[in-house]
Amino acid sequence: MTTARLAIDPSRRLLLAAVVAITAAVLHSSYAFDGVAFFDEGVLVDGAWRVRHGAIPGIDGWMPYGPAGYWVIAPFLAWCGESLVTVRAVLVGMEALSAGALCWLLLGTASVPGALLATALVVIAPGALHKATLALAVAVALLAARQLARHSADQLAHTSRATGAFQAGLLAAVAFLFRHDVGGFAAAACGIALLLDGSLRFRDRCRSALVLSSGFLAVLVPVTLALVVAGLDLPQWWAHEWQRITVQERIDVAIGMPLEIGATVGEPFGERGGELHGGRAALWSAFIAAPLLLLGWGVAAWRRLARGAALPFDRMRVAAALFGLLLLNQARLVPSTHRLFQSLAPIAFAAGDLLARRGRGVRSHTVLALVVLAVMVWAAMGRIGVYSGTIRRPIDGGVELALATGRIRLRPAFAHALERVVASIQRRVGPDEPLATSPGSPLLGFLSQRRLALPYAEPSYYYGDPRFQREAIAAFEQARAPLLVVDGGEPANYRFETAAPLVAKWLAEHYRPIEQIGNFTLLERWP
């Protein structure tokens, strides 16, 4: 018995993708407004808030990630209110669009049940919500791979290839504007897939790769020129970008106290959002199986191309497999379910296309259904952890944070402490004065509606080199923030005193404790 071949007309395909997107939005909304992640979410929210008030990424302060995510979120902060609820609603929309795009892509080759099953993988295991900009960038990258195969059966092969390659370059550049790594991986994967296409002459492969590059540059060159005219210092931007890359490459996961000056260590993950834990065996089995799946899927498509026996969309399969392998490489930095799940879309794409391609039998569809069921059980094993917006049970006994900028659910004790901290900040720091925070707490600036003393939201990435430590000290000197807030119970992947001894020493010399609220220590500037 085989699954019937289903011809999906464009309107039905779009309708199914829309239904999946709406379903994903409803599911994500059930947990999206619980918990808080001061560092990861703070990085995104602080950047978007500054852009909403006129800042330009890379010019008026360094903002990690591509600028597009900030450009999307900032208008909603202006239209719907400056609150975490607004931010998370936008992120839910991004996750939903990503799921809908993946379903639409899968319906191009897979059966309807297979496409829905494979899309369910990314819906039930989306990773942390603050990574929604990454999820959207990944979806755009997969659309770029799809464009390589556009009109592949057309008799006007040269024109079709040129059009598809140019559009793939455009989409890779859009992904780059959301996440530099994702867009770069997409462009590289599509280019390599074209160069490896054995069904084309070498000259045609090179021509197609050049056309793809032109599409990529057609987006990035105008954006870069506009930023340069506005005042972007490209060498300085690259210095910051390279520092971020080098710090990530040598990241060492540990739980440490961020500042010794008045900080008290509490339960590291006590009142925060949800991380996922499924056991080492399950995690490492997934890390082994995922690249093998992508490799086998991509190599099979490449061999068909080389033999002249290609199936429709094989060029897309090669590009998507390469992209998935590059994206999955990011997870080696911090091996965790969170990192794995944020790289899941290309894996789900491969699984759906391989096991549920139109005409495949019930047996392969059953295997896909079992995989989805296993991931669903794994994702349901949520525990209290560091990330908010990870699929899990809502916080038991949670209460709404009584802040105009909050309105999310937290445990009562932590919500009360955070409200007191924000009230103290607003009492001690004027509306036009800056606020200094420990490296992992940039979200406090947004919650209290006070700009951060440092001109960038992710200071930990600049503390490895004395040059960046001196830059941070100069910024602190210029800002002269009247208050420093240290979160003594925050998780960290570095020890502040070791990573940034110059900055830690400077802060200890210029701030002294004045108030303790839960795990938070408030220090005033002196003399």
Q: Tell me: the pLDDT tens digits for 394-414?
A: 677 889 999 999 999 998 999
Q: Which parts of 383-411 fold into alpha helices (H)?
A: none
Structure tokens at 417: 């402490």
Q: Give dist(CA 284, CA 290) in Å, integer.
A: 10
Phi, psi of 241 (to 5 degrees): -65, -45
* Mean pLDDT (whole number) for 313-339: 88
Q: Give dist(CA 143, CA 146) in Å, integer.
A: 5
Q: Give dist(CA 118, CA 107) in Å, integer.
A: 10
pLDDT for the residue numbered 254: 36
pLDDT grade for 392, boundaries at 50, 70 and 90: low
pLDDT higher at 49 or 386: 49
Q: Residue 512, SS3?
A: strand
Burial class (CB in 10 A: 0-12, 13-18, 19+), 248: middle
pLDDT grade for 6, boundaries at 50, 70 and 90: very low
Q: Give dist(CA 428, CA 439) in Å, integer.
A: 20
Q: Give dist(CA 380, CA 98) in Å, integer.
A: 21
Other beta carbons within 10 Å of 159: 11
pLDDT for the residue numbered 460: 55
Structure tokens at 62: 């360094």
Beta strand residue intervals within 386-461, DSSP E: 399-400, 409-410, 436-437
The answer to whether residues 457 and 442 touch, using CB atoms and an 8 Å cutoff, is yes
Q: Give dist(CA 414, CA 401) in Å, integer.
A: 9
Q: Give residues with Cβ within 8 angstroms of 80, minimum separation 6.
A: 86, 89
Taking Cα atoms as reference points, which of 38, 31, 29 lies closest to residue 269?
A: 38
pLDDT for the residue numbered 62: 80
For residue 527, whether the previous peptide bond is cis, meaning omega lies within 30 degrees of 0, is: yes
Q: Residue 511, SS3?
A: strand
pLDDT grade for 277, boundaries at 50, 70 and 90: very low
CA atoms within 13 A on the CB side of 170: 8
The answer to whether residues 321 and 349 touch, using CB atoms and an 8 Å cutoff, is no
Q: Residue 110, SS3?
A: strand
pLDDT over 70, % of the chain:
85
Q: What is the distance, to the nearest Å, from the Cα of residue 154 to the centroid of all Cα atoms in its chain?
A: 37
The answer to whether residues 364 and 356 touch, using CB atoms and an 8 Å cutoff, is yes
Q: Give dist(CA 210, CA 316) in Å, integer.
A: 17
The label of the residue with tokens 């794409």 reads: 349
* Mean pLDDT (whole number) for 206-217: 95
Q: What is the DSSP-derived secondary structure letter of residue 395?
A: P
- 27-31, 95-99, 169-173, 278-282: least confident range: 278-282
* Mean pLDDT (whole number) for 453-467: 71
pLDDT grade for 276, boundaries at 50, 70 and 90: very low
- 61-70, 72-81, 273-282, 303-312: least confident range: 273-282
**Residue 92: pLDDT over 50:** yes
pLDDT for the residue numbered 394: 65
**Residue 249: pLDDT over 70:** no
pLDDT higher at 54 or 263: 54
Q: Per residue in 465-521, pLDDT tens?
A: 788 888 889 999 999 999 999 987 654 455 677 778 888 899 999 999 999 999 899
pLDDT grade for 463, boundaries at 50, 70 and 90: low
Q: Residue 488, SS3?
A: coil
* Mean pLDDT (whole number) for 310-331: 93
**Residue 242: pLDDT over 60:** yes
Q: Give dist(CA 149, CA 160) in Å, integer.
A: 9
Q: Per residue in 485-498, pLDDT tens?
A: 998 765 445 567 77
pLDDT higher at 258 or 189: 189
Q: Give dist(CA 36, CA 17) in Å, integer.
A: 30
CA atoms within 13 A on the CB side of 275: 17
Q: Give dist(CA 516, CA 521) in Å, integer.
A: 5
**Residue 275: pLDDT over 50:** no
Q: Give residues with Cβ within 8 angstroms of 55, minimum separation 6.
A: 61
pLDDT for the residue numbered 510: 96
Q: Per residue in 252-274, pLDDT tens?
A: 443 333 343 333 333 333 344 34
pLDDT for the residue numbered 279: 63
Taking Cα atoms as reference points, which of 180, 334, 179, 182 lies closest to residue 251?
A: 334
- Please provide the DSSP assignment of 266-308 as one string: --TTTTS-EEE---HHHHHHHHHHHHHHHHHHHHHHHHHHHHT
What single-letter amino acid sits at 487? D
Taking Cα atoms as reference points, which of 442, 508, 510 lies closest to residue 263?
A: 508
* Mean pLDDT (whole number) for 379-396: 56
Structure tokens at 525: 């500037």
pLDDT higher at 506 or 464: 506
- 40-49, 113-122, 470-479, 483-492: least confident range: 483-492
The answer to whether residues 271 and 414 touch, using CB atoms and an 8 Å cutoff, is yes
